[in-house]
Chains A and B, each alone.
Chain A
């Protein structure tokens, strides 16, 4: 057998062996003692983490798994949700918010840059919300807007051939303008989601529904104003949130671990390479981030 091939075979073997031992070891032991875990919630929140070309997305299922794992781990005494998200889909936000409700340990949400819309829904279920003076908070409302291409198609003499078996089957199609009746139906449903969102925030924050309704016009607030409005409890940063969680959990000197989503091997390789040879692309890429709207995806 070729020597290079045998060397590569050995490298593959030692890599698999390392992964196997690491998995075995960490499943069998819990040597960290009391700990506070930080769960990052970054980017658009969708159920499966599918974003679009220029939108970073995070999987609600992954976040829920991390929350459940932290809740089940007896060494974890408190959870910090590090939120930097403009929101997400309704279901993506709801499943995470529901998971937080089931946590029996202190949960502190820290809003670093954005904690808007669905991300604020999630934060509102924590015991305490910490935000910076200039964090963007709130934006309670539901978005169902989409681009309608009917006029463009008409300009190019392209016809939308409507073939449906139910009257409202293509209610959200971008290929023709929405009728007044259809718009009313969609708005009724958006309003239903909006009311649910408001009631969840009110319950999570211990506020009256009418108080939240007054703040639910979709406007965002700066952290310093959000404190006065009752949307945020404390002004501070991530360290403050960690210290607050320790206080709530009664932990004096616990360690802090940061949860990361499990990555496939190629992502690990890519991350390792970029960590070793500092990646300039990340900086350039972040400039290209823009908001992208998809047809009728309700976002909170």
Chain B
């Protein structure tokens, strides 16, 4: 993959992340704001364990679904997220026909975790290819958008 395409993908991701932060995270952040005060490790662990309740897991799940919805819907319906739209990138299916919803979900699932996404990108860099692992798995690829 060309250096230019890679950095455009990075730029598009940052822009999308910025949009997601505002659209999805901010509404929850305005309601859920905890300034944890921990004097030592045991206090910190206590606070974390207290937060790590079923409701907290549910909250994380809801936010994750919304984030996944953002990426997947836009790439399924329009072939590009807002970041990709502005950086003139497009997601296409490497299989027959247009990209399907299932493919869009699978290719974006690692974006919910920084560590998983880093591993996903690492695969692409190690292989010196143009596809992340989930892109290979889902049968999708990001290409430069052709001028009309």
Whether A31 contacts B55 by the Cβ 8 Å rule is: yes
Tell me the minimal C-beta distance from A248 to chain B in angstroms.
15
Q: Can you name the residue of chain A whose Cβ is closest to the Cβ of B24?
A: A18
Minimum C-beta distance from B10 to chain A (A)? 18
A19 to B56 Cα, complex, angstroms? 17
Complex interface: chain B residues within 8 A of A31 (CB): 51, 53-56, 59
**Which of B24, B37, B66 has the largest count of A CB atoms less than 10 A from its CB?**
B37
Contact partners of B31 in chain A: CB under 8 A = 22-23, 25-26
Most B C-beta atoms less than 10 A away, residue of A6, A26, A258, A262: A26
Q: Could you tell me how many residues of chain B have their Cβ less than 8 Å away from some Cβ of chain A?
A: 38
Task: Give the number of chain A interface residues (Cβ < 8 Å).
Answer: 37
Query: Are B33 and A256 in touch, CB under 8 angstroms?
Result: no
Q: In the bound complex, what is the Cα–Cα distance between A15 and B32 (angstroms)?
A: 17
Q: With an 8 A cutoff between CB atoms, is A263 at the interface? A: yes
A31-B53, A255-B51 known; A14+B35 contact, CB < 8 A: no
Once the chains are docked, how many angstroms separate the CA of A17 from the CA of B77? 18
A19 vs B22: C-alpha distance when bound (angstroms): 11
Chain B proximity mask over A101-131: 1 for CB below 8 Å, otherwise 0: 0000000000000000000000000000000
What is the total of A-B residue contacts with beta carbons within 8 Å?
96
- Interface check A253, CB cutoff 8 A: yes
Nearest chain B CB to A187 CB, angstrom units:
46
Nearest CB in chain A: distance from B147 CB, A: 15
A26 and B24 CA atoms in complex are apart in Å by: 15
Instruction: Kindly provide the distance from the CB of A83 to the nearest chain B CB, expressed in whole angstroms.
Output: 17
User: Quick check: B56 and A18 within 8 Å, CB to CB?
Assistant: no
Binds A, one of B67-75, B99-107, B112-120, B133-141: B67-75
Most central of A22, A33, A272 by chain B CB within 10 Å = A22
Q: B6 at the A/B interface (Cβ < 8 Å)? A: no
A243 partner residues in chain B, CB cutoff 8 A: 37
B18 within 8 A of A: yes
Check if A38 is an interface residue, CB within 8 A of chain B.
yes
Q: Is the CB of A11 within 8 A of B62?
A: no
Whether the pair A14, B70 counts as a contact (CB closer than 8 A) is: yes
Which residue on A lies nearest to B36, using beta carbons? Answer: A255
Contact B35 A256 (CB under 8 A): yes
Query: Is the pair A268, B30 in contact by a Cβ cutoff of 8 Å?
Result: yes
Known: A253-B46, A256-B35. A11 touches B82 (CB 8 A): yes
B34 close to A257 (CB less than 8 A): yes
Question: Across the interface, do A33 and B50 meet the contact criterion of CB distance under 8 Å?
Answer: yes
Asked, given contacts A22-B31, A258-B35, whether A268 binds B26 with beta carbons under 8 Å apart, the answer is yes
With beta carbons under 8 angstroms apart, the residue of A21, A23, A29, A256 that contacts B37 is A256
Q: Is A7's CB under 8 angstroms from B74's CB?
A: yes
Residues of A within 8 A of B78 (CB): 3, 6-7
| B27 contact from A22, A35, A239, Cβ within 8 A | A22
Q: Is A143 an interface residue (CB 8 A)?
A: no
Q: How far is the CA of A243 from the CA of B21 in the complex (A)?
A: 33
From 32 to 60 in chain B, residues with beta carbon under 8 angstroms from any chain A beta carbon are: 32-37, 43, 46-47, 50-51, 53-56, 58-59
Which residue of A3, A29, A256 contacts B34 across the interface (Cβ within 8 Å)? A256
Complex: chain B residue closest to A242, CB-CB: B37
Closest residue on chain A to residue B55 by CB atoms: A31
A10 within 8 A of B: yes
Q: How far is the CB of A259 from chain B (nearest CB, A)?
A: 9
What are 19 A-B interface contacts by the 8 Å CB criterion? A7-B82, A11-B23, A14-B24, A14-B66, A14-B69, A14-B70, A18-B66, A21-B27, A22-B30, A29-B58, A31-B56, A253-B43, A253-B46, A255-B34, A257-B35, A260-B30, A260-B33, A262-B30, A276-B18
